[in-house]
Amino acid sequence: MTSERVRGPYVLVAVILLAAALRLWGAACLPLSGDEAYHWEWSRHLAGAYYDHPGMTAWLIALSERVWPGGGELAVRLPAMGCLLLTTALACGLARDMARSRALAPSAVEQAGLIGAALVFFVPLPAALSVYMSTDPPLMPCWLGAAWALFAAIERGRTRSWLLCGVCIGLAASTKLISLQLLGAIFAFLVMTRAGREWLRRPQPWLALAVALIAASPMLIWNAAHDWMTFRFNFDIRQRDQALSAWHPLVFVAGQAATLTPGFLALALGACFARSARARPAMAAVLACAVLPLAFFVLVSFRRKIGVHWPAAPWLVSFVLLSVSLAAREPWTQRSWARWAWRSSWGLTIVVLLIVQAFMSIVDHVARLDLVAGQPRAVLRNLYGWPEVGQAAAAAADALRARPDCAGVFFISNQYGTAAALSFYTPDRPSVHLWSAVRNHGRNYGYWDDWSALRGLDAVYVVKRPLAEWEEPFMREHFAEVLAVESVPIIDDGEERNTFYLVRCRGFDGREPFPTTP
């Protein structure tokens, strides 16, 4: 064994850990986004699922905050990095296993693992998800773990591998319902291939399905008790008002090329369509976990916009296939276009990651720039002032409590992200209620907010924009007294960076402000 082969894995591990530390350090410079704060709010109301998504993300955040109390934003985001590190290790293991099954030389097996790990950790799309805590980071290791377990189950016929695949599918379903595509892809493979149909005559796949249902049971039990709202929201409510469009698929493809780099996208697709990817039943099963969900996203893109991050998990499987193709030096990977795509994409990836790292480090300076139509200053203004407005809201609540006739104070805001962020950044982290008409997201506040219990209390209303013309009159319908709107300017180095607006209200009537049925 050469010294290069000995050093290779250790060098990659060291680089990955250094990059992880730098990303977390940069992420500490940024406040929580509205969605991240909303997911943190879930963690204070732990359940098997929520209106918007299953509950895995909330449980991971709650665990992180229990381990690191007072960790602030990093405690919320740390599970995202942990999920990507786990995904990276799984990619390395799956790539090595697949390379070994093809009887590649030990050096090629090791190379496949290193390439798979490097792609998963450094390609911009999964890299971004390592410092942004949403439902996507925990989905990635569950998806890749299911693909690896499926490969081992079909390659070696082990019952325990089938059961592990079921566990991963159940955990994936407990993270994000988009993971049902994974179950569909595996079922399609079992039905459409001779090897798959042979397995359907055996008990193992059915045992795996039973295990998946058990692993997903907290999510399923919650939904059964709440009119299957997570399913209804994801498969009905948020899918309404769609129309055929030739523009959306172009935007989808462009978004994938931008976040994966065009070269890696082309190479990943090349690996999926290579003969080696379907030469063995186990390889074909892994291929199904990548290609079928990606094809589904393409079809759906003709009717609606696709979030750029939605296909992240199936792309990771295609990166593992690519790593094995490269390690095996398949003929197509030696062509000039493939070599150019490989080198240019790594160069572009390094540039992008350095730019993002620099941005997180100097975001304060970037937010002062007015380059084009007030940007980026206008869009970055919301990075500023959350601790200050939290302090202002707490002071306003204290002023209301100081009145002898005050029975108590609660907080309200008009956007789910603002409500959650205000709660996170206000001292003692009080509950903040959502004072808003029904929108697609944030509807879980409807399960948490008990307006009748707040009858007779005073309130502090905080928003990010000047109040609309209808807001003050509407509030007067529900409060005995509504005081004047107060602006909360966020001043930094003598410059106003952001402005929030605050209203003190007295004597709530206890009526639900925006009655609706979910």
The pLDDT tens digits for 241-251 are 777 888 889 99
| Residue given tokens 């500023």 in the structure block | 384
Mean pLDDT for 274-292 is 92
Q: Which residues contact 508 (CB under 8 A, 6 or more apart)?
A: 410, 451, 454, 455, 456, 457, 458, 459, 478, 479
pLDDT at position 98: 97
Q: What is the mean pLDDT of residues 25-48?
A: 94
Of the listed ranges 33-37, 235-239, 259-263, the one predicted with least confidence: 235-239
* CA–CA separation, 504 and 461 (whole Å): 6
Closest CA to 443 of 230, 177, 173: 230
pLDDT in tens, 127-137: 999 999 999 99
Segment 464-487 mean pLDDT: 94
Q: Note the pLDDT of residue 412.
A: 97
For residue 124, pLDDT over 60 is answered with yes
Cβ atoms of 142 and 179 closer than 8 Å: yes
* pLDDT for residue 446: 87
Which residue do the tokens 């992200």 mark?
417
Instruction: Say how many C-beta atoms besides its own lie within 10 A of residue 74's C-beta.
Output: 15
Give the residue among 71, 12, 84, 82 at the shortest CA–CA distance from 40: 71
pTM of the prediction? 0.94
Query: In the numeric block, which tokens belong to residue 244?
Result: 């055929």
Closest among 255, 264, 281 to 325, alpha carbons compared: 264
Task: Give the Cα separation of 298 and 399 in Å (integer).
Answer: 55
The CA-atom distances, in angstroms, between 495 and each of 381, 430, 490, 498 are: 12, 30, 8, 9
For residue 6, name the pLDDT band (cuts at 50, 70, 90): low
pLDDT per residue as tens digits for the range 207-260: 999 999 999 999 999 999 999 999 999 998 888 877 788 888 999 999 999 999
Show Cβ contacts of residue 464 under 8 Å, excluding neighbours closer than 6 positions: 382, 415, 418, 500, 501
Task: Report the C-alpha gap between 46 and 448 in whole angstroms.
Answer: 11
The band of 1, judged by pLDDT with boundaries at 50, 70 and 90, is very low
pLDDT at 437: 83
pLDDT digits 0-9 by tens, 62-71: 999 999 998 9
Residues 323/273, Cβ–Cβ less than 8 Å? no
**Which two tokens mark 148?**
């690896």
Tell me the mean pLDDT in the region 6-34. Answer: 89
Q: Between 23 and 362, where is the model more confident? A: 23
- Whole-angstrom Cα distance, residue 147 to residue 170? 13
Q: Which two tokens stand for residue 505?
A: 């209200």
Tell me the pLDDT band of 5, cut-offs 50, 70 and 90.
Answer: low
Which of 9-13, 77-81, 450-454, 498-502 is least confident? 9-13
In terms of phi and psi (left: phi > 0; alpha: psi -120 to 50; beta: otherwise), the region of 112 is: alpha
Each residue of 428-438: pLDDT tens digit?
A: 999 999 999 87
Over the chain, what is the mean pLDDT?
93
Structure tokens at 84: 């990507």
> What is the torsional sign of CA 314, 102, 4, 82?
positive
CA distances from residue 289 to 109, 116, 172, 213, 275 in whole angstroms, order as listed: 22, 16, 13, 19, 16
pLDDT of residue 113: 97
Cβ burial of 495 (10 Å; 0-12, 13-18, 19+) is exposed
Own/partner pairs, 343-352, CB within 8 angstroms, 24+ separation: 344/261, 344/263, 345/261, 345/262, 345/263, 345/264, 345/267, 348/261, 348/263, 349/122, 349/123, 349/124, 349/261, 349/264, 352/124, 352/261
Question: What pLDDT score was predicted for residue 518?
Answer: 45
* 161, pLDDT greater than 70: yes
Burial class of 217 by CB neighbour count within 10 A (0 to 12, 13 to 18, 19+): middle
Confidence band for 516, pLDDT divided at 50, 70 and 90: low
Write the DSSP assignment of 363-420 as a string of letters. Answer: HHHHTT-EEETTEEHHHHGGGS-HHHHHHHHHHHHHHHHTSTT---EEEEESSHHHHH
Contact 171, 90 (CB under 8 A): no
